[in-house]
Each structure stands twice: as C-alpha cells, then as structure tokens.
Structure 1
C-alpha cells in the first residue's frame, strides 16, 4: 500500500468530529489500565479522581479518570491531557491513518484519503448505571468541517454508549467524511423526537462513527467564537455517543481555571442510568488540560420505549 503525506488537499464534505478505522497505519501507543486504588491529584474544586486508563500522545499521555459517591454512582468522568502531550501534539501527518479510504485508487494519502486526526481509544469503569462504555479521543490539528465552525485545532471527546465492536461495523467509504455510502444512509436515519433536543441539526456522517447533531443556535454553529461545544452522535436512529469539542488554542491562550456549560438534555433517554448535565474544561498550574462531565442525574427510560 502506498502511503503519502506529501499531497495536501482538504475536500471532505460535511460535519465531522473525528473517526477511526482499521484501514491505514495504526499509531504506536501504550495503554495502561489502573486499579481503583490509583488516585491522582485533582483541581481543588473536584473530588479525588481515580485513574482508569492511559495511552500515550506525543511525549505525554491521555487519561480517563472518574469519581464516585459512597454508593459507587458516578460523580465525575474526566479526560486529562498532560502538559507534555499538550506541548508535543502530533502535527505531521494530519491524520494517523486509522480512518482511511482510497478514493482515487492510487494508494492511501494520509492528508486527503483519511480523517480522524490522531486518535486514541480509552475505557471507562463499569459503574452501576453508567451508560458510557469507552472514549474515542481525537486531536484534530487542522480541525474539520463545516468551515468557520469547527475548522480550528481542537480536541474531540466521544463518550460512547454504543458498544466498541458495533461501532467498528460502521465502514469507511467515499461518501461524506470517509464513510460507506450505505452506512451513511443508516447514520442519517432520524432519531425519535423524544430522544433528541428540539431544533438540533447540521448533520454530517463519518466513517467508523455515524452522524452528528448539534444546536445550530449555539456557538460556534451560530457564528460566535469557538471555545467549547457539544454534539450528540447518532446511528440507525439511536443516540450512540455524547461529544464535547474543545478548541485547543483557546485553552492554551486563556488557561481557564474552570469554564463550564450545561449539556442540553433530550426529553427522554433510551437507556436508564446516570447522565451528566454539565461539562467543564480546566487548565491547571502544571499545564494539564482536564475535561470533565459532571452533575450526574438519574434518568429512567419511559415505559414501552
């Protein structure tokens, strides 16, 4: 297989928030699973966080962490990018080759035939009532579509409800953002109204991921500055992941001690459990970036759904 990163063209259409596949070049990463006794320092306003999973990124790492109450119910889910990783984020090539499709039949070009930026997959603990199973983290050096919305360097945090193996069945192909055209049609199926916030739209399907739904009246889709944003991921008419998106340059430039925003909730959920109602971004004195899902509430699936 010919791999070239020298030809640069960015013509992928639609909205995308980072995708993954087994086609192309897999990055060299190390993974660590931590025991429940691995407690790490947290920002002063957070409870003590337990380290669960860690993978390498640049000269540093990305971690998944969590905190629970006395009954082992989720209080905080966190993703931390340490200062060493923030300062050495991969820049060349744009994509690491995990989501690719040879559109022109001339071999894979990591700049034009791929998506997802630099991707890492991590896991969450199996807490009672926690719907999120794993995390797909993406560093997007050049951002992605749509233009003037998410086309800035940023981090994507995909909190997946969908099983990892089921996600992997969403194939790459020539449609939209490197997605199989039949799978794109499946991804674009509407979600029943009770399971999606009213008025959300701007769909765009991605290989090894599915469709994305955002609030067109919220930043940055409405033209306001891109700091942090939120999307719901959907496939085959179901919500499959929750996705915060954070502007890397904003974090590094402003060094927010704590910036939070509420997560718009759908009227109902398909799966009973504990769901976060707030997301926050923090930059600590060591230069680490910590993203959190907080203020979990119990929600119950409506009878007969």
Structure 2
C-alpha cells in the first residue's frame, strides 16, 4: 500500500505493518498429507516468496477438529527477497478448507526489507503474519475513502473481546493510528521491553481491531532470528469472551521442520469457543 500510518508512543509505540514487497503468486489447489481418516495436516495453495514458497496449513485431530494453523516458508524463501520496499501489496494466503471451523479466514504476509517505524523498535528486516478473522473484501474495505473510516476505527470492541491487556498505543486516537487495508493495531500494555533505543526485536505478537470487532492476530518475526532456526512455544493472552463461535488459538510457536527445513509460524492449541 502506498500510504502508511504509524502507531506512535513512548515505550509502547508500535508501527503499522504496511511495508510490503512484490511477492508473486503461483496459486494451486489444496494438498493434504498425514494420517488416514479425518485427521492429518492439510495445506493451502503455495505462493512464491524469495527463492522459495509460502503456504498455509492446518492440523486436524482424529475427530477432524483443528488443533493448529500456521504458515510454512520453504528454506529458500528467506533468500532472494526484495531489498527495497515497494507498494505492490501484501501476499494473501488462503487457508485450506479444513481450517473452516477456526475463527480465521486467511493470512496476509508482509515482508518489510527495511523494517518500519519506529525504527528504534522495528527497524530490522522482518515478516508480519496477519492471521485475519475477516475476509479479504473486508480487509480491502479498510479504506480512508470510506466516509465512516474514522468512526469505524474508533469503534473498538468491548475490552472482554480482545486479548487481555492489549490496548491502542499512546500517541493518538485509534482513528489517527488506523492503517489502510489492516485496521487498528494493539500492543500488550504489560510489555515493559518496548523501549525505543533499547528494545532488541526478534519476535512479538500484535493484535488488531476494526469497526467494533477483534479482527487479527499478528506475529512479527525478524529474518535474522528465523535464520538461527529457533524453537519457541509460548501461551497467548486470551480474550475473556468471543464475538464469533469457532476454534481459537491458546498458544503461539515458531520452529523449523527437521525433515523439510520449512520455517513454521503457528497458532497452536486450538480450542472451541462459543460466542457470547
């Protein structure tokens, strides 16, 4: 996207993740692998990224219930990436049909070769993985040309519907910090490490809202950290209630598949939740 709106603030500043590079699609049908029956691992269409590919996946248990969704980057995907930001737009990754019971619709993947503001926090080259809970048309409708744009940005969900402790950063209203094609980004108010000039960014979880809805969960992960082949598993902060019935994650993981060499960014511990 051509325009950027950056979230500002002291200590809890977070940049909107609009910097993207040209990522060329090479669509294909869903593929599946795994155990016989209703369980296994199922993949979305593959798309080109760097010298490799990116694709989504979901894992189902033996009863056909989702346990995990995520994105796999093939080993070559971290090489041959653009070195300059372009306005070409994000890479939109469909989830496999087998993920339909989850709260998520697709993943928007952004490569930020020069990081983004505030550079004292997020100036390193990194990927942003937007796990979107609204469809692509709704994402595209987050447009400043909408006469109700500011009102929709300022219409935050009730606090019980967003992960506990996540807030609009200081430095402006939600409408002032809204990002076209994304929404309003939220940061963890308890994260005392977010101090400009001293924060050592490797990975972080952001959340987002639009027009009264909790709309995305967003891991941000640096390329250099991925190249160390990390193994990370941590619980997510959760909402107290849910606006839509479906399976939602309770954890987050980053790992490397020993067999394929794929870099994996996952939302784990999928659990059924009822709207209330």
Aligned partners of 1:293 and 1:27: how far apart in 2? 23
Alignment of 1:248 onto 2:223: yes
Q: Aligned residue for 2:113?
A: 141
Partner of 1:95: 86
Q: Deviations over 1:220-241 (max 9, x none)?
A: 5355432221111110121111
TM-score (norm 2): 0.81
Give me the whole-angstrom Cα distance separating, in 2, the residues matched to 1:260 and 1:53. Answer: 26
2:265 aligned residue: 291
The alignment yields a C-alpha RMSD, in angstroms, of 2.8
Alignment: residue pair count:
253
Distance 1:125 1:27 in 2: 20
Counterpart check, 1:189 vs 2:155: yes
1:39 aligns with 2:11: no
Give the 3 Å change call, closer, same or farther, for CA 83–284 of structure 1 in structure 2: same
Q: Which has the higher contact order (CA 8 A, sep 6+)?
A: 2
TM-score, structure 1 normalization: 0.74
> Structure 2 residue aligned with 1:279, among 242, 252, 261?
252
2 CA distance for matches of 1:128 and 1:59? 30
Cα pair 1:27 1:96 within 8 Å, conserved: no
Q: 2:185 aligned to 212, 222, 227, which one?
A: 212
- Checking the alignment, whether the CA contact within 8 Å between 2:22 and 2:86 is kept in structure 1 is no
Which residue in the other structure is 2:11 paired with? none
Q: What is aligned with 1:4?
A: none
Structure-2 change in CA distance of 1:219 and 1:132 (3 Å): farther
For residue 288 of structure 1, report the CA deviation from its aligned partner. 2.8
Going from structure 1 to structure 2, the CA distance change for 1:220 and 1:226 (only over 3 Å counts) comes to farther
Distance in 1 between residues matched to 2:270 and 2:71, nearest whole Å:
16
1:196: how far off?
1.9
Pair 1:13 & 2:9 matched: no
| CA distances 1:143-188 after superposition (whole Å, capped 9, x unpaired) | 2223422222111111111121121111257xxxxxx785244223
Higher helix share: 2
Q: Please name the residue that 2:205 is paired with.
A: 230
SS of residue paired to 1:32: coil
In the other structure, the counterpart of 2:10 is none
1:199 equivalent to 2:199? Answer: no
Gaps of at least 5 residues in structure 1 are: 1-9, 41-46, 99-118, 174-179
Gaps of 5+ in 2: 8-14
Deviations 1:123-147 (A, max 9, x none): 1134453110111011111122234
Structure 1 residue runs of 4 or more that deviate by more than 3 Å after TM superposition: 10-13, 25-28, 284-287
